Structure 1
Amino acid sequence: MSEKHDYDGIRYREEKNAPVIFRILFYGIITWGIVFMGYFLFSGWSSEGEFLHKKKAKEELVAKNSAQAPPGAPAALVHREGKKDDYIAMGKAEYAARCAVCHGVDGKGGIGPDLTGKNFKYGKSEAALTETIAKGRPNGMPAFGNELSHEKMEGVVQYVLSLQ
């Protein structure tokens, strides 16, 4: 094969090698891939191991919080700090700022339903109240999930449950 070709009066030069920068990138990526695979395979890391580590940490936290609860207390009353009164005080402040307008200062109702009753339309458990506060309900209950932190929302739930 000749180095120069002539097609239709146009001369072409045949390149035998790719430009240097492309060869550097090509071999560099191959080297990086081999090193990365070696590190990944021999480092001992795995997503399953990471999951087990996180699960163990959570179990230790639950065990620590359970140890702080009085004997026979339901698990729902155990909070991260173990201080239900602090949650109720924080919840009372949030309730006064956001909920009292519709549900009344004492929770006996107004525009919104009475919160001192034994039964609620959507349930009176912590999970049901948290969902109601976070997602809202049709016909007037706004969602506060994006406005309240988890701790503040839990405080409002504990305050509402403490109303009689």
Structure 2
Amino acid sequence: MKRLLIRLITGIVTMFFALLASPTLLLAADAPKKSSMNNPIAIVIVVVIVALLIVIALLSYVLLGIAQFYVKRAKEQAQQNGTAAKTTVLLLCCLAGFSAFAQTDNAAVVTDRSIGGLSEATFFTLMTVIAIELAVIAALAWFLKRLMAKEETRQAAEIANAVPKDSLLKRIWDRANRFRAIHQEADIDLGHDYDSIRELDNRLPPWWLYGFYCTVIFAAIYLWRAEVSKSAPSAIQEYTASVAEAEKQKEIYLANAANNVDENSVKLLGADGIAAGKMIFTGTCAACHGTDGGGGVGPNLTDDYWLHGGTLKDVFKTIKYGVQEKGMKSWKDDLSPVQIAQLASFVKSIKGTKPATPKEPQGEPFKENTADSANATKTTASITQ
């Protein structure tokens, strides 16, 4: 419909301007004829006016139909627009008829100048009618184009809403891999078939390519910094720094782990721990037990008799919680678990030594286990040496 209307309007306008360009019809020197309707120019112009009226009627009909279809809720307004368009067509028809009658009335008037055998008033009146018709056609075509564009937009929106959209994650996944469609595999098939496994000349996925490009860039920067400009540490320097950092972390871990020791998890320490325990004993315990552990106010710690148990765990517990009825205070608030373990290890290490002035035995005899006794004897020998 749209192409037909365009071709019709183009043909009418072309014919009209072809007639205007004819030198034998325009600006005739002879006097106008008695009847304007017998003039070929008048006949052609009237035909053009009628054809344009037909075009206006067709456009009005199409415009009215689209408006009624698209604007259902505004049916009354669409009908009013259609009525206005029909009224415009009727008015133009009346104007064309009036122009024709005016030509008949003015045909008998003889003027000095004429255009194609028509008087100037008649000619310009007909041209005005044609101009008004063309303006109306342009307006109707513009409204028709607007309505058709809205309809196409609505249909496109309905189609877009009808088709479910992929999730953001799926779109990212498809973009990162950029798979070939199944119907395109025939274009990249290399013709090699191994047990129904076909070899395709497929492009590597973008994520793999970009990852490879990043490694190349990183390698170039690292090579420049480590080997050329020496602005970054070498592999050996990084290893040395990592080992030193690991040793620090190990010391911190061991210190924290040692602070978690109690009477149930205490173990006999080595020479370094016993030496640290000896210093603690000299500063806190020598006043009651003697410098060499032979006893004083407190019992002798070098013999086989013990008042509160002779195992390492018993000694740790006695130091930690104290014995209030015997006058020994609790050291858990003054010493850390590590220091109590060191002090207990030192007390166990001086068993069997010969103090200068040993105190008489107190408590019950205690026999050390074979393994614990061997460890204590070995540790005492290392300290003595």
Structure 2 length-normalised TM: 0.22
Structure of greater relative contact order (alpha carbons < 8 Å, 6+ residues apart) = 1
Structure 1 length-normalised TM: 0.49
Name the structure with the higher helix share. Answer: 2
User: Larger radius of gyration, structure 1 or 2?
Assistant: 2
